[in-house]
Amino acid sequence: MNIVKYPTEEAVNAILGTGNPLLVLISFDGEEVIVGDLDESVEHHILLAQTGHDQRDIDKYFRLVLDNEGADWTFVCPPDYKGIPDKVRRISAFYRDGFAVISHALADLGYMVGINIPRRYRRHFDIMSGK
């Protein structure tokens, strides 16, 4: 796993564990983790650009806001996730994969916290339950 820290490794390491919020991007395969100071980057797509990535690649990452209390997951399943055409199956796969990959990455960062999906992103669960 490659962990990229922005603006610098030292700056992010100084934030880790303090309770200050971090932006986290985790590639779907879990091989790349990008961590940045929320105050420095503000948004996930900005953090991508700041680390030399194309900000349009935002849909290739699980997106989190992380602090000592938990990890809030911006649960937005891309329409082309894993090439699964059925929306319910696609969202289910995204959910299962996300929890596995995110849990592993958080542990590598030294965070043993819950993964929360904020209410505004829960509309996907209505789709999965047929509502």
Binned at pLDDT 50, 70 and 90, residue 124 comes out as: low
Q: What is the per-residue pLDDT for 28?
A: 98
Q: What is the per-residue pLDDT for 128?
A: 64
Structure tokens, 103: 């849990």
Name residue 98's amino acid.
G
The SS3 call for residue 80 is coil
Q: What is the per-residue pLDDT for 121?
A: 77
Q: What is the per-residue pLDDT for 36?
A: 97
- On average, the pLDDT of the chain sits at 93
Contact 102, 58 (CB under 8 A): no
The SS3 call for residue 70 is strand
Q: What is the per-residue pLDDT for 131?
A: 56
Q: Per-residue pLDDT tens for 47-91?
A: 999 999 999 999 999 999 999 999 999 999 999 999 999 999 999
Residue range 99-111: average pLDDT? Answer: 96
Residues 6+ apart with CB under 8 A from 85: none
Q: Is the pLDDT of residue 104 over 90?
A: yes
